[in-house]
Amino acid sequence: MEYHVSDLKLCETGLLRTEWANQSMPVLNRVRERFEREKPLVGITLGACLHVTTETASLIHTLKAGGAEIRLCASNPLSTQDDVAACLVKEYEIPVFAIKGEDTTTYYQHIHSVLKGNVNITMDDGADLVATLHSQRTDLLKGVIGGTEETTTGIIRLRSMAEKGALRYPIIAVNDANTKRLFDNRYGTGQSTIDGIIRSTNRLLAGSTFVVCGYGMCGRGVAMRARGMGANVIVTEVDPIKALEAVMNGFRVMPIAEAAPIGDFFCTLTGDIRVITAEHFSSMKDGAIIANSGHFNVELDLEGLHKQATSRRVIREFVEEFLLPNGRRVYVLGEGRLINLAAAEGHPSSVMDMSFANQALAVEYLVKKGKDFEHKVYRIPEEIDLEIARLKIASMGMSIDTLTDEQQKYMRSWEMGT
Ligand SMILES: NC(=O)c1ccc[n+]([C@@H]2O[C@H](COP(=O)([O-])OP(=O)(O)OC[C@H]3O[C@@H](n4cnc5c(N)ncnc54)[C@H](O)[C@@H]3O)[C@@H](O)[C@H]2O)c1
């Protein structure tokens, strides 16, 4: 079997950590039990480009239980957990191509290694697999039924491909499921981003000024958790409605140019480019700490920072110091890559439980219905989304009310007034 991972001897640790994660993934476990019985994915080869974490191992295990052949590579050069990659190869016999810290050339070689398997379904996180397939391996497109996409940035890229007529098969936007974006993007990114910043710096957040760039689903999670740790949170936005929401949630809102000189910590979560520019870096306080938790590190103008820095050094793992011509030092965490995966372990398993149940059910849905779809980006069916929410609630030992017949009728009527 082909594979390229860091060290197979790490398998035992990966196996134990995956078991630990799996204990918090009851919904995905339910899906796996059914897949084991029904084998809905037999005959399907799935190419996955995901962060190689313990939760991903549980997803891969589920897809394999459903009968799929899977090939896996990383969706970010710094997000692979090498012990998990080893465990997937040795224990689950999955061809994995992922090494933490791989350079860009190896990253794309690994994507090509996944594509070599003539995949029928792509499972992407950020759309690099789909983009490579559509630009460099068009010969393989005829065998593809469809794909799924995990994150906001990927959906933006794929919608742009669809609008320009470049997309050659249907995509299910897993990110847009309510059981994904309201929980994974908000609570998952909220907690794990703070975790990554703390693990890499061991600095105190209480009493600090923490600037969150972007108040979308991820940004509001980080803002909420940073405030919970005692930081004074400033939000920067470009959307007036999101900005208003931030104000009414009690945060200060201002342009990044005004926030740059007063922040102690900065975190970008916009999906945009050059949100913090070279000019902003040079107006920051001595000792400012900058992280990104958006999908790509282009949110920070690292090139501009590198150009103006008079010296740079790695001062501790995942913390790089840049000395600026004005004598001030700024610190960039995890090379500007998503800090929750670079310096911590990504989202907690219990939120990935819902995201990856969506992934598994989206693949099953594509296998059943994909051939009838146009080359567009589709939302996950509402019944799948609601079923995941019901299962999650039940797994937490809770139940909720159901509409009575009278209530159902009333909610659909207009006749009854004051
Ligand atoms: N770290 C992770 O594990 C993780 C998890 C999920 C999503 N993501 C990524 O995080 C990013 C944000 O995702 P989201 O779901 O919150 O998206 P979103 O669309 O809900 O929010 C993005 C927000 O950023 C704002 N924005 C855009 N440009 C800006 C600028 N120049 N300055 C300030 N604000 C700006 C937008 O107005 C929007 O409100 C995406 O790249 C997504 O792929 C990361």
- Can you give the pLDDT at residue 378? 97
pLDDT tens readout for residues 243-275: 999 999 999 999 999 999 999 999 999 999 999
Q: What is the DSSP string of 81-105?
A: -HHHHHHHHHTT---EE--TT--HH
Kindly state the DSSP code that residue 380 receives in the 8-state scheme: P
- Can you give the pLDDT at residue 190? 98
Q: Say yes or no: CB of residue 236 within 6 Å of ligand 1.
A: yes
Q: Say yes or no: CB of residue 338 within 6 Å of ligand 1.
A: yes
Q: How many CB atoms lie within 10 A of CB 105?
A: 8
- Can you give the pLDDT at residue 227? 98
Q: How far is the CA of 37 from the centre of ligand 1 (A)?
A: 39
Kindly state the DSSP code that residue 183 receives in the 8-state scheme: I
- Can you give the pLDDT at residue 80? 97
Burial class (CB in 10 A: 0-12, 13-18, 19+), 200: buried
Q: If DSSP codes are grouped into helix, strand and coil, which group holds residue 333?
A: strand
Q: How far is the CA of 413 from the centre of ligand 1 (A)?
A: 39
Q: Are 59 and 359 in contact (CB under 8 A)?
A: yes
Burial class (CB in 10 A: 0-12, 13-18, 19+), 250: exposed
Q: What is the CA radius of gyration of the chain?
A: 22
- Can you give the pLDDT at residue 64? 98
- Can you give the pLDDT at residue 169? 97
- Can you give the pLDDT at residue 132? 98
Confidence of residue 407 (pLDDT cuts 50, 70, 90): very high
If residue 30 lies in a helix (H) or strand (E), which one and from where to where? helix 26-38
CA 74, 77, 80, 86 torsion-angle sign:
positive
- Can you give the pLDDT at residue 249? 98
Calculate the average pLDDT of the chain.
97
Q: Say yes or no: CB of residue 152 within 6 Å of ligand 1.
A: yes
pLDDT tens readout for residues 22-73: 999 999 999 999 999 999 999 999 999 999 999 999 999 999 999 999 999 9
Q: Could you tell me the two tokens for 62?
A: 């589920």
Q: How far is the CA of 374 from the centre of ligand 1 (A)?
A: 28
pLDDT tens readout for residues 297-312: 999 999 999 999 999 9
Average confidence (pLDDT) over 131-147: 97
Q: Say yes or no: CB of residue 209 within 6 Å of ligand 1.
A: no
pLDDT above 90 covers a percentage of the chain that reads: 100
Confidence of residue 88 (pLDDT cuts 50, 70, 90): very high
- Can you give the pLDDT at residue 300? 98
Average confidence (pLDDT) over 11-29: 98
- To test the pocket of ligand 1, the residue of 152, 220, 266 to mutate (highest count of ligand atoms within 8 Å of its CB) is 152
Q: Say yes or no: CB of residue 387 within 6 Å of ligand 1.
A: no
Residue 317 one-letter amino acid = E
- Can you give the pLDDT at residue 263? 98
Q: Residue 298 and residue 200: Cα distance in Å, rounded?
A: 20
Residue ID of nearest Cα to ligand 1 atom 21: 216
Q: Say yes or no: CB of residue 234 within 6 Å of ligand 1.
A: no
Q: Say yes or no: CB of residue 268 within 6 Å of ligand 1.
A: no
- Can you give the pLDDT at residue 251? 98
Residue ID of nearest Cα to ligand 1 atom 5: 185
Q: How far is the CA of 321 from the centre of ligand 1 (A)?
A: 26
Buried/exposed code over 159-191 (b: 16+ C-beta within 10 A; e: otherwise): bebbeeeebebbbbbbbbbbbbbebbbbbbbbb
- To test the pocket of ligand 1, the residue of 181, 295, 297 to mutate (highest count of ligand atoms within 8 Å of its CB) is 295
Q: Say yes or no: CB of residue 244 within 6 Å of ligand 1.
A: no
Q: Say yes or no: CB of residue 263 within 6 Å of ligand 1.
A: no
Q: Say yes or no: CB of residue 199 within 6 Å of ligand 1.
A: no
Confidence of residue 128 (pLDDT cuts 50, 70, 90): very high
pLDDT above 70 covers a percentage of the chain that reads: 100
